[in-house]
Structure 1
Amino acid sequence: MTESPTSTESTPVAKSSRLDTTDLALIAAFAALIAVCSYLAAIPMGGAGVPLTLQGFALLLTGALLGPLRGTAAVILYLLLGVAGLPVFAGHAAGPGVFIGVTGGYLWTFPLMVLAVGLLVKHVLRRRRTNPLLVFAACLVGVVINHLGGIVGMAVVLRVGLPEAAVFDAPYWLGDLIKAAVAAVVASQVHRAFPKMLARRA
């Protein structure tokens, strides 16, 4: 009779440990995804020479699938790897100096961008997160945050006005909107297949 309570109490503990391991694995996997996508199609564009990559797609997907906490943790891990010297930034760049370079404004907004998308998809869309149009709207908020940060960063580093920095930034909008649309379609389908993806505490 004394063994029954012990056996029933051990089950939740084991389950909690398994969930924590899954969270860490997802955070590491999406940090790696962001790093890989920073290399893909790294083509310098615009007057400032900021490279066009698939990084934005990975960031938006991270927020939409992992939610605010795990998604932000994945981005912070990615940024820390770059600061530590691993060439995970666009153009195989690394080190803290990248944060004060021409692309620094974009990098600084990465956590906020993913946090915003994660909050919107998890807490605002809720069961409607299987709707790609609504997920796209959430991703669009992240795109705007990222571009605003990039414009301010370029204005500071290049010592130009905000309107001129916005002109430098303009060529990237179309590509980022396409990436947001693709991320929305992928995320909505994943949530349709795995409806409990964001039911976890993160």
Structure 2
Amino acid sequence: MSTQVIAPPRYLATARDASLVADIALVLGGTALITASAFVIVPLPFTPVPIALSTFTVMATGAALGPLRGTLSAALYVLIGMLGAPVFANGHSGVAFPTFGYLIGYVIAAWVVGQLARHQADRRVGTTLALGALGTLILYACGVPWLAVSLGIDLGMAIQLGVVPFLIGDTLKVLALAGLLPSLWRLVARIRPDDRAGAR
């Protein structure tokens, strides 16, 4: 009598229906979530960079969908905005505004976070904290130089405008990610013990 080996899910959003249609639906769903969260902002009067929920959503999407689908979700969001749809924070579109560099960071962060999730870094609190911290650093690394060039200021001032005011908020987002993702994996283990989704 043969024993059937059941492959565990690799990502939180691994579909039971492992098909192209399911993958497209997941990518579009990720893009929709990022788009919706981009409108949840808190403008700050002393900097053109707002506090935005989308930074959290991008990392959650990358972890939940994996590197390919998560990156496609973020890239599609950025492309839609570049083509003129006012989907970026503060209703921006195109590329000619100070915070566009952070949006490039969305795509890179989604890929990196997805790769870490592929190696199960989103299943424990400690490794999820590292995952979120790295994703945040990528956003800063992409956003600050663009901010400096766009505003005609030096990197030190760009850090003052584009990093320092957000350290507490971004730390809270990373903590929330570290609480959410491992908890969801524990839930998946209880309600989907027979998930046969293949790895991507």
TM over 0.5: yes
List runs of 5+ in structure 1 lacking aligned partners.
1-14
The structure 2 residue matched to 1:173, chosen from 162, 167, 174, is: 167
Shift of 1:58: 0.4
Residues in 2 aligned to 1:130 and 1:17: alpha-carbon distance in whole angstroms? 23
Say whether 1:115 aligns with 2:111: yes
Aligned residues of 2:70 and 2:111 also touching (Cα < 8 A): yes
Say whether 1:47 aligns with 2:46: yes
Residues in 2 aligned to 1:156 and 1:92: alpha-carbon distance in whole angstroms? 21
Per-residue Cα deviation, 1:95-123 (whole angstroms, up to 9, x for no partner): x2xx2311011111111111111111212
Higher RCO by CA contacts (8 Å cutoff, separation 6 or greater) = 2
Residues in 2 aligned to 1:60 and 1:46: alpha-carbon distance in whole angstroms? 26
Larger Rg: 1
Residues in 1 aligned to 2:18 and 2:110: alpha-carbon distance in whole angstroms? 25
List runs of 5+ in structure 2 lacking aligned partners.
1-14
Shift of 1:151: 1.1
Per-residue Cα deviation, 1:172-196 (whole angstroms, up to 9, x for no partner): 1211121122123222222223358
1:164 matched residue in structure 2? 157
RMSD: 2.2
1:102 matched residue in structure 2? 98
Percent identical pairs in the alignment equals 30
Trace 1:36-185 onto structure 2 (pairs within 5 A): 36-40=36-40, 42-45=41-44, 47-94=46-93, 96=94, 99-123=95-119, 126=120, 129-169=122-162, 170-185=164-179
Provide TM-score, normalisation by structure 2.
Answer: 0.81
Structure 2 SS opposite 1:100: coil
Structure 2 SS opposite 1:129: coil
Aligned residues of 2:116 and 2:122 also touching (Cα < 8 A): no
Bigger share in helix: 1
Aligned residues of 1:72 and 1:114 also touching (Cα < 8 A): yes
Provide TM-score, normalisation by structure 1.
Answer: 0.81
Residues in 2 aligned to 1:16 and 1:35: alpha-carbon distance in whole angstroms? 25
2:3 matched residue in structure 1? none
Shift of 1:18: 4.7
The alpha-carbon distance between structure 1 residues 48 and 16, as it changes in their structure 2 partners (threshold 3 A), is closer
Aligned residues of 1:46 and 1:168 also touching (Cα < 8 A): no
1:23 matched residue in structure 2? 23
Of the structure 1 ranges 16-25 and 152-161, higher mean CA displacement relative to structure 2 is found in 16-25
Task: Give the number of equivalent residue pairs.
Answer: 180
Residues in 1 aligned to 2:54 and 2:168: alpha-carbon distance in whole angstroms? 14
1:7 matched residue in structure 2? none
